[in-house]
Amino acid sequence: MRLGAIVLQSQPWTDARSTWQQVEHSGFDVGYVADHLTHSTMAGQWWADGWTTLAAAAQVTARLQLGTLVASAAVRNPAALARAAATLHDLSNGRFVLGLGAGTATDSVADRGVALTAGQLAGRYAEVVEALRALWAGASTYQGSHVATDGVVVAALPDHLAPPPLLLAAHGPRGYDLVARHADGWSTYGGPAATRLAGDDLWAALAGQLRSVEQACAGHDRDPAELRRSVLLGYGPDRPLADAATYAASVARARDIGFDEVVVYWPNGAPGDRFWADPAVVADGVARARHEV
């Protein structure tokens, strides 16, 4: 079972440096950052660029996988995204995980003043994913929905590294199909409806999503066991870090329904804040989960 933490990049690097080292020392397998230009949960806070933060984190950690949860297809150009991901993969000596999602309308407004519809976001997402795969397979340039195969290569990988794992966020049929066709892994927090769910209701929704991904894989003759299956807990009312026992039980329940990665929020803010948890509980919870799961 892989254990992960998402570190919301609201600290200046003078503080964040030790945070990333603490994530690694606490026993997590992977540390993620977010990739929003704007988000209601971080209103009014310093918000560092996630990609640059990961480049710095790669230099102060040794074992921890590092990834985006998730990069935004709404604001990322495929060629630039492919090159940035390849560079982080090199900087981290093969530890980078490219989590990618459709992004949000608010990000597209912040980026270029245009609110994309849900259908437009989904269409762009599929286009970006397909372009990434083509670029890493050797295509040299990307324009619109066309990937050219001549000219100067813009997204080559270092000779000693394969492409980073592609972890795709999906919460509906179009996304599940994209996962089945192109992903190395699937990421979910349960989807928008799950932000109001906790306890058995949340786990039932997650189990239903997992079955949908398995069905999509079957439609493409793909073994779903090949997929990294990652769940982010704690975005809605559920509080997996209330205490060490609750965290270990959450990890066990995720494993039992078919996930092989559990991600939680690294403590952010102050006691009583939405994403706060006692750092001692986090460390004890990881140790307990390792022992029990």
Counting the structural domains of the chain, the total is 1
**Residue 275: how many other CB atoms lie within 10 Å:** 18
DSSP annotation of 279: H
Q: Report the b/e string of 70-96 with b at 16+ CB within 10 A.
A: bbbbbbbebbebbbbbbebbbbbeebb
- Which residue segment(s) compose the domain that 231 sits in? 2-292
pLDDT tens-digit readout, 106-152: 877 777 788 889 899 999 999 999 999 988 887 766 665 556 655 55
Which amino acid is residue 92, in one-letter code? S
CA distance 74 to 36: 10
| 155 class by beta-carbon count within 10 Å (0-12 exposed, 13-18 middle, 19+ buried) | buried
Q: What is the pTM of this model?
A: 0.94
Element spanning 131, H or E: helix 118-136
pLDDT tens-digit readout, 7-43: 999 999 999 999 999 999 999 999 999 997 776 676 7
CATH assignment of the domain containing 83: 3.20.20.30
**Mind listing the pLDDT tens digit of every residue in the chain (293 residues)?**
999 999 999 999 999 999 999 999 999 999 999 997 776 676 777 889 999 999 999 999 999 999 999 999 999 989 889 999 999 999 999 999 999 999 887 877 777 788 889 899 999 999 999 999 988 887 766 665 556 655 555 556 788 889 999 999 999 999 999 999 999 999 999 999 889 999 999 999 999 999 999 999 999 999 999 999 999 999 999 999 999 999 999 999 999 999 999 999 999 989 999 899 999 999 999 999 999 87
CA distance 108 to 117: 10
Predicted pLDDT at 114: 80
